[in-house]
Amino acid sequence: MGAQAPRPPWGISSLAILAILIASFSLIPLAYVIYMTATTGWETVIELVIRPRVGELLLNTILLVLLTVPLCLVLGVGGAWLVERTTLRGYRWWALGLAAPLAIHGFVNSYAWASAIPSLAGLSAGTLIATLSYFPLIYIPVAATLGRLDPAIEQLAASLGLGPWAVFFRVVLPQLRIPMAGGALLVSLHLLSEYGAFAMIRFDTFTTAIMVQFQSTFNGAAGNMLASVLVFLCMILLLAEAKARGNARYARVGFGAQGLATRLHLGRYEIPAQCSLLGLTLMAAGVPMYSVTRWLIAGGIEVWEPAKLIPALTQTMGYGLAGASLTCIVAFPMAFLAVRHPNWFSKLLELSNYITSSLPGIVVGLAFVTVSIRLVPGIYQSAYVLLAAYILLFLPRALVNLRSGLAQAPRELEEAARSLGRSPTIAFVKVTLRLTAPAAAGGAALVFLAIVNELTATLLLAPNGTRTLATAFWAKSSEIDYAGAAPYALLMILIAAPMTYLLFQQSKKAAGQ
């Protein structure tokens, strides 16, 4: 008898049921926004949305995105091209140096610049800090893509008489469309969801305004309507990214080994390139580290308060480890269906998680505040609600990694193990889970890094008495106690640095370098 056909994912299998429950749960924040908008009444909605304050916030947010994203694209693509395709001296060190700012969260960067230049404020300040904080989100995927592009097309274009710049703009740049679009989406979503970095420099966006409304009226109608507009902007960004990405695929399908790209000789541009990268690195990583060190020295031994630092560190590590583990467990059924049963059903379930994760943390936090108070008041401000919010916010980080790991453990390997006498359970554990473990560890590391730096949802949902490194840092810096905030900033950087290095190494491994 032949092998039995796999049960379709829309059947009664427990895996499909789990995936459906997870997808339904992940849509709670979006359902909350739709429900609050519908129950508010159209007259009230129009009154709250069509007003000068919303227009001001909308203009600030749109200008921030329009200014920051192109700057991040220029810095990310330019830095990746210098590192991967030129004879830049020390390019291996620069490759890591340009990724290093990712270990410094935006609100830590804002704290450093605001303490160094107290007059820093407004749109220009927001653009500066956001660009320095988020350009690595474009640099890392673009550098990885450049490292694995087949140079044969570029060599052919050069042989037809195209110069280096023409080859870059007409051949290389179009092949970078997918990582550029994905990186630009990540930067844009970070801009919409960021609170601490912009609040510290007194620059109003939708997220900062929603937080103010929540603190003053505790989930009032005005804050909910601002959240609705913010969700609408997120949906526009998702559609724009899908349109920019298109259906194009750039892959080598011929026989033979891929050649090595010819590095462009910089010549007289070597010194300007070195100076530019040095200046960028100093601004993005040097200034925050200098500022943190300066305040640590100024504060002396008194700012190191073990009675406060140790609980904040242990609670951060506890939530990070628990959230990362649970997120990977929750993501596994979805990833398994996406890889083993790829069809419209599994794609729809996966899409629901991406939509929710694109929502800012403050919207997810408001949704869980409302739902827990109205439906399950006993769990309001409990660790369960906070962990649930972390899972929804960062599920795709684990999902993407698990998918890649499961793709490297095809069904045929399990069948081979079963043909050798292994039971289905043993074959699954020994083969599939074992091959997926490294990818799961990478996904868990990325989720852990995100939880360590998460601020808005934690401020809204954390149980009374909870002080993570991020919330403790925010409390100190909000009181202009820059010296007191410095130890928390340093600990966040030290925790984030290994995770950033892991992300950098994973990108290089994917590029085959």
Q: CB-hemisphere CA count at 13 Å for 7?
A: 9
- Provide mean pLDDT across the span 101-111: 89
CA nearest neighbour of 272 among 88, 77, 85: 88
Q: Please, which contacts does 248-253 make with residues 24 or more away whose CB atoms are closer than 8 Å?
A: 248/177, 248/178, 250/149, 250/175, 250/178, 252/150, 252/152
How many whole angstroms separate alpha carbon 183 and alpha carbon 76? 9
170, 176, 182, 184 alpha-carbon torsion, rounded to 10°: -50
**Residue 487 pLDDT > 90, yes or no?**
yes
DSSP string for residues in 450-501: HHHH--HHHHHHPPTT---HHHHHHHHHHTT-HHHHHHHHHHHHHHHHHHHH
> What are the residue ranges of helices labelled H in 285-305?
287-299
Question: Where do the structural domains in the chain lie, given as residue ranges?
Answer: 28-248+270-510
Residue 452, exposed/middle/buried by CB under 10 A (0-12, 13-18, 19+)? buried
- Provide mean pLDDT across the span 404-422: 68
Amino acid at 411: R
Element (H, E) at 20: helix 14-26
Alpha-carbon separation of residue 458 from 316, 365, 469, 477 (angstroms): 11, 8, 11, 16
Which residue in this structure is represented by tokens 């704290």? Answer: 111
pLDDT tens per residue across span 428-461:
666 677 767 777 777 788 888 889 888 888 988 8
**Residue 56 pLDDT > 50, yes or no?**
yes
- Give the pLDDT band of residue 65 (cuts 50, 70, 90): very high
**Residue 512 pLDDT > 70, yes or no?**
no
Q: Which residues contact residue 422 at a Cβ distance below 8 angstroms, ignoring those fewer than 6 apart?
A: 430
Between 287 and 262, the higher pLDDT residue: 287
- What would the 3-class secondary structure string for 34-58 be? HHHHHHHCHHHHHHHHCCHHHHHHH
- Give the pLDDT band of residue 257 (cuts 50, 70, 90): very low
Q: Which residues contact residue 480 at a Cβ distance below 8 angstroms, ignoring those fewer than 6 apart?
A: none
- Provide mean pLDDT across the span 51-60: 85
Tell me if residue 333 falls in helix, strand or coil.
Answer: helix
CA nearest neighbour of 144 among 180, 104, 112: 180
The interaxial angle of helices 469-478 and 482-510, nearest 10 deg, is: 140
Q: Which residues contact residue 372 at a Cβ distance below 8 angstroms, ignoring those fewer than 6 apart?
A: 379, 380, 381, 385
Q: What is the mean pLDDT of the chain?
A: 80
CA nearest neighbour of 180 among 141, 233, 134: 141
Tell me if residue 264 falls in helix, strand or coil.
Answer: strand
Give the CATH number of domain 28-248+270-510. 1.10.3720.10
Whether the model pTM is above 0.85:
no
Between 440 and 109, the higher pLDDT residue: 109
How many whole angstroms separate alpha carbon 376 and alpha carbon 392? 18
pLDDT tens per residue across span 315-360:
999 999 999 999 988 888 888 887 777 777 777 777 777 777 767 7
Amino acid at 508: K
- Provide mean pLDDT across the span 190-204: 87
